Chains A and B, each alone.
Chain A
């Protein structure tokens, strides 16, 4: 391979961000270094443990340090104006020792002889302002999806969110434990199409007539428009148009809009605000997008986080229909058989949920006698997609002993590998048992749970002994036989 000119962090643009990150890290830790220096210069004092938490939205840092002091240490002085607050707790009972803290003109002082009851071990927490308001941007790479490929017919839209620490080593070198808490992510969720779809055309026509009637000064035109309005006939919303538009507007208030979104862990929902579209300024009554703010935390042990924002657009559309009094009519229409995202349900059920869904749904999706294993794999993949289960198909390969393995489906979140077997002829039964037994040690080296889905065309007579024989011999190995 040829050696390439490689630049840190920004390969494409050739920017070297390293020194910038180093500066940011140091500015963030500058005060911490000063505190540490003060403590380490004290004789008869030992630093036991330390932790730094950055509360990113508030730009507040919290440095906690556990110390053990001998009898010769009487006072600890921290003459640093950047410290906003100092808390002291004795260890291990965690009793508040605020009586020992005095605020100085330029910092804080702790009188150790005022610690009650006398304790040698103290936990000190320093709260300080982080001056660099771009420090998160410099330390963390944040990405969110800008557009969802899903169409109008889908019941929800999904947007991915991702956070990763740019440089672990420098942070690790400067600090043993670091938490960057509540890192904000704003995803612009497109709501315009749903609003447009949910508003019936006769309501729009009605509004057009009213708007024109208000505007025109021509008496003949006013009369004609009045007549046209009458011809439309009375509707559930007649005379209440103004009120209804206000009600629709209120769906985009933060408290209301949160009903329409769901955020997966380790991200969590924080708030919704109207999308920034100042270039659309004269038309601010309705948003085209809502910015949904979610938060997550990164630390040196978990330097990256992935999450998903689900916008339940069918719920918003139903809500608009309810406001306009047309929901009942709509409800009579048949919904698509595959329901909305069931993240909560799925999380609750875990692997058991997957097994029971396969048992319930796989067979009805096979319409003809399968010839190849691939047909079952395809059907299972469609099932996973439809049920929004987080399984990847043939995306993971690994070596075990001298052989390579590639499970049919894998899920990191469920720590599960799934393999499909097709039992077409009586001799296949023994072959499948041998294959499963051979796969188990290899798969188990990477996955906690294994699920073997055996699609049987009528060859396996003793289903229970087939499954139990394997399941009893191995923990967290499940065999599911689906009869054609």
Chain B
């Protein structure tokens, strides 16, 4: 078998980087041509020098490799209009006349989440006694990827989102203690001081959105590298957070914790970024103007869903968690 190993993943999240490798033996070729569908862009290529490669549209012709028998590449996939789309890629060994000696083709199923609106009511009724919400907003994830969903109340909304008092209290105390504990870590490990400071800043100001997740991911990646380079720093960091958590854990029961966790997971691969956010409700109908924002597991950006104003009325004064105003339908249910 001249081609010993060939790999292109069969599935990938749209926006994800896609690797390719080919390892072969005893192929007497004159060139290698790579053809890509327009959904892919070449990002990196290994084992080749610049002068030995030519590009035309979505085709690349490789004349010579540094070490024969191996080619490595990385492609960038794009976020596409369709939530499910197949991309094609082929690698062809050519003889002197430019004719095919051997060809490997690959089909990559590119997927993403796709949050779509199914039904938006004019009025939502909340029964706080029965813990029931009638006539909810129906959304569904029509794609195959995981969606991370978060809510933003607009300026023209009568009802504004907030966190319940007990959660605010818990978070405030936790953040205070975490900041104080971490400041000791900063002094102990000045090399990582600014990194810890960035983390505390993000922790205390969770402006939840794609940018927040990207920034947090970036800081976490750097912290992880720091933990790997200096194990003591890793332990000190974890202990500082654990101590802050333990100190305030009495403010939240294990049942609440578990319920909050379950609330953050909607059906059909939908995660709610902050499931504890609530809006105040009362017997007098008030308008809620809200946008639904989505990202995916590679932090892709999606258009916001602007929901029209909806009246919310309850049987008594209180608070309702925003995610409970939604019914997450399965695809084509």
Which A residues lie at the B interface, using CB under 8 A?
1-4, 6-13, 133-134, 141, 143, 145-152, 160, 162, 164-169, 172, 188, 190, 192-193, 195-196, 199, 204, 207-208, 210-211, 214-215, 241-242, 245-246, 276, 278-286, 288, 302-304, 306, 392, 394-399, 404, 412, 415, 446-448
Contact = CB atoms under 8 A, between A and B. Distances in A.
A196 B10 CA distance: 28
Contacts of B111: 147, 149
B45 A9 contact: yes
B202 A283 contact: no
B116 interface: no
Given A9-B44, A10-B43, A210-B255, A172 B19 contact: no
Interface of B: 1-7, 9-13, 16-19, 21, 23, 41-47, 49-50, 53-56, 59, 61, 66-67, 70, 72, 74, 76, 95, 99-107, 109, 111, 131, 144-146, 166-167, 170-171, 174, 178, 199, 202-203, 206, 212-213, 216, 220, 224-225, 228-229, 241, 245, 252-262, 264-265, 267-269, 271, 296-298
A375 B23 CA distance: 33
Given A162-B7, A304-B7, 12 more contacts: A2-B55, A12-B42, A133-B228, A143-B18, A146-B13, A164-B19, A215-B256, A245-B254, A303-B21, A398-B2, A399-B99, A399-B101
Contacts of A2: 54-56
Contact of A7 (B50, B59, B199, B216): B50
A447 B3 CA distance: 10
Contacts of A303: 21, 23, 47, 70, 72
Contact of B101 (A398, A447, A448): A398
A25 to B, nearest CB: 14
B11 A149 contact: yes
Given A146-B298, A399-B100, A446-B2, A168 B47 contact: yes
Contact of B269 (A172, A193, A246, A395): A193
A207 B5 contact: no
Contact of A4 (B5, B54, B72, B298): B54
A260 B6 CA distance: 28
Contacts of A160: 9-11
A199 B258 CA distance: 11
Nearest to B145: A147
A143 B43 CA distance: 13
A404 B66 CA distance: 29
The 3 closest A-B pairs by CB, nearest first: A304-B21, A149-B144, A169-B66
Nearest to A188: B297
Contacts of B13: 145-147
Contacts of A242: 254-255
A285 B261 contact: yes
Contacts of A288: 264-265, 271
A8 B49 CA distance: 7
Among A151, A278, A399, the most chain B Cβ lie within 10 Å of the Cβ of A278
B46 A149 contact: no
Nearest to A307: B7
B41 A282 contact: no
